Structure 1
């Protein structure tokens, strides 16, 4: 008898990650590299869609010999502000995502690729906890000037997956737990989780919070204004500079933390200073988000690719360990989070929500 399985699809700018999960875990995982292919010459993501669907179908068909496909889950892209949860892919979602209504990102392809594959097999398509999950409390939206509103953009998929795991470990429901969570990767999310809701976080893509291996984080406003009015950069160049070419990459010429740590071990004092500053800023932000929860923190959770480094964990623990115990979930675990969300939807454990466009 064939096992039930869910296909998960996580499109990136230069690759597409695929995995087939049954109820025991991942059965097949593949990272399809698009470098040097026709896709790499298509800057417009709408152009890429048919070819990406074709490649996904061709790759995963060979995985179905012993499995029945029951759903497809795509990465949730940059959509309108949403509550956490599982959303059935519909025309409204695909229209907003593929047309990059809110921002341009390869993850905007996730819903449409999932839908294209799901229709061939007559199964439902979902997205789980998109990047734009927004459960902010009203005071978290206030920036300090009326023209600018603080927005929620974070690694919601991995954040909520870790919150579920840690709540279960503590023997509590999500609705009974409070956490400060730090997702540490190329971008960094620090968030306060209050009884299951992400009530405040930094903007992990563009603005506030610590600098990261490749993002700028908070910057002194006066100097930023001087740079903005110097006409040295266009708006597009600013966006790229602060979201892809800042942080460790700007200071040290690399976004590879392993290389930075190696340079520190060899006596590079400048690398030590910049790296310590990043850990300092991460720790300071964790402390700030503990105040959002009024100090009622069940655990501090550290996750993401940088959580694999014992050195990083030790440096953060030294600064924030007095606030609460620290739990570590290395890696991004996005494929697993998408699959488990799909099974919760199919099994009726979690309500399936409907995406609606903003009026």
Structure 2
């Protein structure tokens, strides 16, 4: 099909502290929008699924305020949530996929579970192909990375796979190399933080960014000793514990807000508490980058940083100071998620790629010998 045909594509991308949308005509961005959702508001919803109507009100208002009519749109792409873990790629969204994401079959309770649900609402009203690209549970772990210290329980792959891979490709191109020929540590640093080891095009290990694993973030508690959880949080309801992992932990727990700009203003003003907690978050990020360097046996071609918090120079400076000896560091503030979703939809619409069918089962289901 000719590349001169104009395809209209709408992407919807709910994050832990925001809902982002963008309207494209082929590669051209016509308009984008972003609204911040403070964790103090989101915590009033019993579950993430309960936020659907609240977030859809924003999307429909944005369309109306900007005089965008999606009637006859060619594709609507929703950010992929926790379906069963699957290989990367572009998927046709069906009812089974939506239901599995609503039920968090992939074991990850995260706002991305609203992406395909919001896209389906828009699809029902305006039409178009309904697609999902590289969900947060893309699973490419090496076998040794799956093992835990409890028989039969395995580590989950739960990352910002869409943005991580898109940014890795961009970095590889910038240095004149191919992504699938490089070893990279790629970090998404924003409301959620995932730090990943990429070996020759495969994401072989990462922290479980939605399961309380890794650095603390503006919304997530990060790694804690299980004994501390048992002794200090033993009487908390299950949903409150889940919320600490995903919405009200980290900076939100310390300051009552997840608004990084507000907290960073306190840091810049010299507030000792804010400085200590903020620097502790950076410290924890660098520890995890170091661990991924070991996963790659020290053979690291680059450390690639992306996400909203990279707009703060002290975050970049702290990582450069602690990790600059490992490999060259490149920073891409913001995200490439929308561009990746748009590009995938265009490949499908132009016939360059076939959309995959969701298999309805996990890619990894355990080892035969265990």
Give the structure-1-normalised TM-score. Answer: 0.86
- Are residues 52 and 293 of structure 1, via their aligned partners in 2, closer, same or farther at CA, if it must alter by over 3 Å? same
Asked if structure 2 preserves the Cα contact closer than 8 Å seen for 1:211 and 1:218, the reply is yes
- Are residues 258 and 103 of structure 1, via their aligned partners in 2, closer, same or farther at CA, if it must alter by over 3 Å? closer
Q: How many residues align?
A: 352
1:280 to 260, 274, 283: 283
2:31 to 9, 28, 31: 28
Q: Tell me the alpha carbon deviations over residues 160-188 of structure 1, each in whole angstroms, 9 at most, x when there is no partner.
A: 11012112222222211221011111111
Aligned counterparts of 1:194 and 1:71: Cα–Cα separation in 2: 32
Q: Tell me the alpha carbon deviations over residues 273-323 of structure 1, each in whole angstroms, 9 at most, x when there is no partner.
A: 222221111111101101111122111011101011111101110000011
Q: Tell me by how many angstroms 1:214 deviates.
A: 2.1
Aligned counterparts of 2:89 and 2:353: Cα–Cα separation in 1: 8
Q: Mean Cα displacement is larger for which, 189-198 or 121-130?
A: 121-130
Equivalent residue number for residue 337 of structure 1: 340
Q: Tell me by how many angstroms 1:256 deviates.
A: 3.1
Aligned counterparts of 2:58 and 2:211: Cα–Cα separation in 1: 33
| Consecutive unaligned residues in structure 1, runs of 5 or more | none
1:194 to 191, 199, 208: 199
* 1:172-183 to 2 correspondences below 5 Å: 172-183=177-188
Asked if structure 1 preserves the Cα contact closer than 8 Å seen for 2:148 and 2:154, the reply is yes
| Consecutive unaligned residues in structure 2, runs of 5 or more | 39-43, 363-370
- Are residues 351 and 326 of structure 1, via their aligned partners in 2, closer, same or farther at CA, if it must alter by over 3 Å? farther
Equivalent residue number for residue 262 of structure 2: 259
Asked if structure 1 preserves the Cα contact closer than 8 Å seen for 2:16 and 2:219, the reply is no
Aligned counterparts of 2:36 and 2:274: Cα–Cα separation in 1: 31
Give the structure-2-normalised TM-score. Answer: 0.83
Asked if structure 2 preserves the Cα contact closer than 8 Å seen for 1:3 and 1:68, the reply is no
Asked if structure 1 preserves the Cα contact closer than 8 Å seen for 2:21 and 2:59, the reply is no
Asked if structure 2 preserves the Cα contact closer than 8 Å seen for 1:12 and 1:106, the reply is yes
1:214 to 203, 213, 219: 219
Q: Tell me the alpha carbon deviations over residues 74-101 of structure 1, each in whole angstroms, 9 at most, x when there is no partner.
A: 1111111111111111232122123444
Aligned counterparts of 1:51 and 1:214: Cα–Cα separation in 2: 18
Q: Tell me the alpha carbon deviations over residues 194-240 of structure 1, each in whole angstroms, 9 at most, x when there is no partner.
A: 111111000111222111122111112322221244x2x11111111
- Are residues 349 and 141 of structure 1, via their aligned partners in 2, closer, same or farther at CA, if it must alter by over 3 Å? same
Question: What's the C-alpha RMSD, in Å, of the aligned pairs?
Answer: 3.2
Q: Tell me the alpha carbon deviations over residues 228-268 of structure 1, each in whole angstroms, 9 at most, x when there is no partner.
A: 44x2x111111113322222232344433333333333332
Question: Are positions 1:94 and 2:98 aligned together?
Answer: yes
Asked if structure 1 preserves the Cα contact closer than 8 Å seen for 2:109 and 2:210, the reply is no
Q: Tell me by how many angstroms 1:152 deviates.
A: 0.7
Aligned counterparts of 1:330 and 1:234: Cα–Cα separation in 2: 36
Question: Are positions 1:111 and 2:116 aligned together?
Answer: yes
Does the residue aligned with 1:132 lie in a helix, a strand or coil?
coil
Does the residue aligned with 2:10 lie in a helix, a strand or coil?
strand
Equivalent residue number for residue 367 of structure 2: none
Q: Tell me by how many angstroms 1:26 deviates.
A: 1.2
Aligned counterparts of 2:244 and 2:99: Cα–Cα separation in 1: 28
2:306 to 303, 307, 315: 303
Q: Mean Cα displacement is larger for which, 142-151 or 250-259?
A: 250-259
Does the residue aligned with 2:68 lie in a helix, a strand or coil?
helix
